[in-house]
A and B are shown apart, each in its own frame.
Chain A
Amino acid sequence: MSAVVEVVVAVPKFLYHFIVGDDLVVAIVMVLALAATGVTVANGINSWWLVPPLAVVMTGVSLWRRGVAN
């Protein structure tokens, strides 16, 4: 039974660490960017150009926030 509890606790913890990691803001913005891409594609706009620059911008924001925090 304790092994089951361990797995139930460990799986969400692992998924959070895997998906979000150390910067929740980056994860949220990237998910929103993917959602926005989905919406624009559904409306006939081939928005391949949205996510890559945003990923770079958010990396810069994350590095800047880390620098300020340190």
Chain B
Amino acid sequence: MTGAGVVLLTTFLASVVEAIEMVTIVVGVGATRGYRHTLMGAAAGLVVLVVVVAVAGIALAAIPIGPLRLVIGSLLLLFGLQWYRKGIVRVAARGFAGYHGQEPKEGPPEAAGFDATAAFLAFKGVSLEGLEIAIIVVSVGASAGQLGPSILGGAAALMLVGAVGFALKGPIQRIPRSFLQLVVGTMLTSFGTFWALEGLGVLWPQSDADIVLLLVFYGLSALSFIGLERRARHQALEVVRT
């Protein structure tokens, strides 16, 4: 493989990891809160990103990503824990009722007025992950003297993962909102934990693979809490009946 090919493949693969995180947040938040304001937030994040890339150019490689990860990760962790808790309570109460889009006692995903929460979450996901992709592209491209293939690799990763996310939009929309809130809450909590601690200088033992372990850890914990909540509800009903 030529030097350009190696640079293209390297930036493509590295960017795919970041793009998956970006698209996961946008699709998850969009499916839970509605796509209109989520995509507006994502677009705003993209605009900020383009401006930063255009202004900084090659100097992007010098941006300290640690403090950014700490701030954005901490916000995602704190917000993610709220959806995590609400998801546990709702799934414990309703289970998978309303699986085919029939979610009772809840408003439509597209809330009236501007949904700042959806927009803010998507903005942060796109701007942070996009910035990381830009830094990967600039660092690898500039150090190898192959900026063109590097940009191509990053752009291809973004388009591919974006297209997959767009294709999955429909099936994800059919998942009940209470369960989706738990899934997205688990994801935001996992990404938030990972980024915040990385921003503090923590070295994750398995590097990026620890995101998956965090997802498993928080997911299994949620299942345990759902079991406990259901048992508590059942016992409360028994007390009322007797």
Contacting pair B117 A30 (CB below 8 A): no
**Chain A residues positioned under 8 Å from B89 (CB to CB):** 63, 66
Q: B1-26 CB contact bits vs A (8 Å, 1 = yes)?
A: 00000000000000000000000000
Binds A, one of B99-107, B158-166, B200-208: B200-208
Contacting pair A30 B217 (CB below 8 A): no
**Chain B residues positioned under 8 Å from A60 (CB to CB):** 225
> Could you say which of A14, A20, A48, A67 contacts B202, with CB atoms under 8 Å apart?
A48
Contacting pair B78 A19 (CB below 8 A): yes
Count how many pairs of residues, one from A and one from B, have CB atoms less than 8 Å apart in the complex.
86
Q: How large is the interface on B (under 10, 10 to 19, 20 to 34, 35 or more residues)?
A: 20 to 34
Give Cα distance in the complex from A34 to B84, angstroms.
18
**Chain A residues positioned under 8 Å from B78 (CB to CB):** 18-21, 27, 30-31
Give Cα distance in the complex from A20 to B78, angstroms.
7
Contacting pair B205 A59 (CB below 8 A): no
Known contacts A21-B79, A42-B201, A52-B218; is-contact A62 B120 (Cβ 8 Å): no
Give Cα distance in the complex from A6 to B67, angstroms.
30
Q: Which residue of A has the minimal Cβ distance to B75?
A: A19
Q: A53-68 CB contact bits vs B (8 Å, 1 = yes)?
A: 0011011101100110
> Could you say which of A30, A48, A59 contacts B221, with CB atoms under 8 Å apart?
A59
Known contacts A41-B200, A48-B204, A63-B225; is-contact A55 B77 (Cβ 8 Å): yes
Number of interface residues of A (CB under 8 A): 31
Give Cα distance in the complex from A47 to B197, angstroms.
9
Contacting pair A52 B217 (CB below 8 A): yes
Known contacts A52-B217, A60-B225; is-contact A26 B201 (Cβ 8 Å): no
Instruction: Judge whether B214 is part of the interface by a CB distance below 8 angstroms.
Output: yes
- B74-100 interface with A by 8 A CB criterion: 74-75, 77-79, 81-82, 84-85, 88-89
- Chain A positions near chain B (C-beta within 8 angstroms): 14, 17-23, 26-27, 30-31, 34, 37-38, 41-42, 46-48, 51-52, 55-56, 58-60, 62-63, 66-67
Provide a sorted-by-A list of 13 A–B residue pairs whose CB atoms are within 8 angstroms.
A17-B117, A21-B79, A23-B85, A26-B81, A26-B85, A34-B70, A46-B202, A48-B205, A51-B196, A59-B85, A60-B225, A67-B229, A67-B232
Q: In the complex, given contacts A18-B75, A30-B81, what are 16 additional A-B residue pairs having Cβ atoms less than 8 angstroms apart?
A: A18-B117, A22-B82, A34-B74, A34-B196, A48-B197, A51-B197, A55-B77, A55-B81, A55-B189, A56-B217, A56-B221, A59-B221, A59-B225, A62-B85, A63-B229, A66-B89
What are the 3 A-B residue pairs with the smallest beta carbon separation, nearest first?
A21-B82, A56-B221, A41-B201
